[in-house]
Amino acid sequence: MGYFRTLHYLIFLIGLCSIHFSTLLAASRPHEELMVVQTVSTDRRSFVVAKGVKDGIATGQEVIFANENVSILCRAYEVNRNYSLWRPIDKNINIPFNKEDFISYNSHAYGNVALEIVGDINNLTPEVNYDIEFRKFRSSNNFSLKASFDQGFSQSSSDVSADNNSKRSGFSYALEYNFRFLPEFEMSFGGRIDNEVYRLTDPQLDIPTTRVMGTIAATYHLMAFSKNKNNFYLTLAAGIGKSTTTVNEETSSGIVTLLPEVRLGHIMPYSKSVAMIFEASIESLSAHEKFSDNTEQVTNILSAKLTLGLRF
């Protein structure tokens, strides 16, 4: 009787071991299944799935998680009975999954296709489309507000000898509306105010000049030569307005023309709605002013400008 009881126990233990061994063998075979992402960390460096110790997951285990676009080789860092926390093996990769996304779990961590995808970080961090991200400065209309420092190169005046034409410097302030009719081309319409001082050497005398002008400009953006959000541009501008000059408390005024102004600029967006602009330009001005006694003075000026401003 004892013999049969012992035999019965042996058969029961062999059957139990066989079932357990079959379960382990099945778990160790390469297989793929779908699961739901439970949560993703705020820094997108780790995520949690509902698969834990009861499912054969152990700390340090490496598997491949994938969606329809990418696959990532990950390692289990924390595991409890029902859940596990995973991080990419490559520290340069951010998690491309979101909470409640369906992803596939591949226990075979060294599939050739997956390894090729895992090794290419660009598949997980695609290039930013700057034309979309910063479309306000690449395809939309916007405004420019600018301030400039002006320095005269040369000047000729009908009533002043060439020896006395020494220095002219000042500041300009401009507001423009930029109409973007093509990604590379735009037209700008605006106005500007100039405040300059012309300094005579003999006799020593400072002559202030104020100008108010309307301007029009055509700009070509060199976006094809830029691989980031910034870009250079070239501008050709013209303008017309009123010039007023005061000499020994006597005022003359008349028409001033800007033709042309050539600018080399650089746009640097630091948000989706505001960008810094830097410009260096050369311009030619011609003013025809009259005094109260109808005496006319013609002044031609060639000057350089450095400009700092905002696009918004």
User: For the segment 134-186, what is each residue's pLDDT rounded down to a tens digit?
Assistant: 889 999 999 999 999 999 988 887 766 555 556 789 999 999 999 999 999 99
Q: Looking at residues 219-232, what average pLDDT do you find?
A: 91
Quick one: tokens of 110?
A: 């060294």
pLDDT band of residue 9 (cuts 50, 70, 90) is low
pLDDT of residue 27: 44
User: For the segment 100-127, what is each residue's pLDDT rounded down to a tens digit?
Assistant: 899 988 866 544 444 444 444 444 455 6
Whether 17 has a pLDDT exceeding 60, the answer reads no
- Cis omega (within 30 of 0) on the bond before 269? no
Which residues on adjacent β-strands are paired with residue 70?
A: none
CA distance 217 to 279: 14
Quick one: tokens of 15?
A: 């059957």
pLDDT band of residue 306 (cuts 50, 70, 90) is very high
User: For the segment 78-105, what is each residue's pLDDT rounded down to a tens digit?
Assistant: 999 899 999 998 888 889 889 989 998 8
Whether 189 has a pLDDT exceeding 90, the answer reads yes
For tokens 């285990």, what's the residue? 61
Handedness of CA 134, 138, 143, 149 (dihedral sign): positive
Which of 29-33, 47-51, 151-155, 231-235 is predicted with the least confidence, judged by mean pLDDT?
A: 29-33
Q: Looking at residues 214-238, what average pLDDT do you find?
A: 94
Classify burial at 100, counting beta carbons within 10 Å of its beta carbon; exposed 0-12, middle 13-18, buried 19 or more: exposed
Quick one: tokens of 254?
A: 């008349």
Element (H, E) at 131: helix 130-133
The mean pLDDT of the chain is 84
Task: Report the relative pairing of strands 62-66 and 71-79 from DSSP bridges.
Answer: antiparallel
The phi-psi region of residue 59 (left if phi > 0; otherwise alpha if psi is between -120 and 50; otherwise beta) is beta
Comparing 69 with 201, the larger pLDDT belongs to 69
pLDDT band of residue 284 (cuts 50, 70, 90) is very high
In the chain, the amino acid numbered 124 is L
Whether 20 has a pLDDT exceeding 50, the answer reads no
b/e 13-46 (16+ beta carbons within 10 angstroms → b): eeeeeeeeeeeeeeeeeeeeeeeebeebeeeeeb
pLDDT of residue 182: 92
Q: Looking at residues 268-294, what average pLDDT do you find?
A: 94
**Which pTM does this prediction carry?**
0.61
Whether 3 has a pLDDT exceeding 80, the answer reads no
pLDDT band of residue 71 (cuts 50, 70, 90) is confident
For tokens 């023309």, what's the residue? 257
Comparing 199 with 32, the larger pLDDT belongs to 199
CA distance 191 to 283: 15
Query: Rounded to 5 degrees, what are φ and ψ at 12?
Result: -65, -45
Q: Looking at residues 206-216, what average pLDDT do you find?
A: 95
Comparing 5 with 248, the larger pLDDT belongs to 248
pLDDT of residue 78: 92
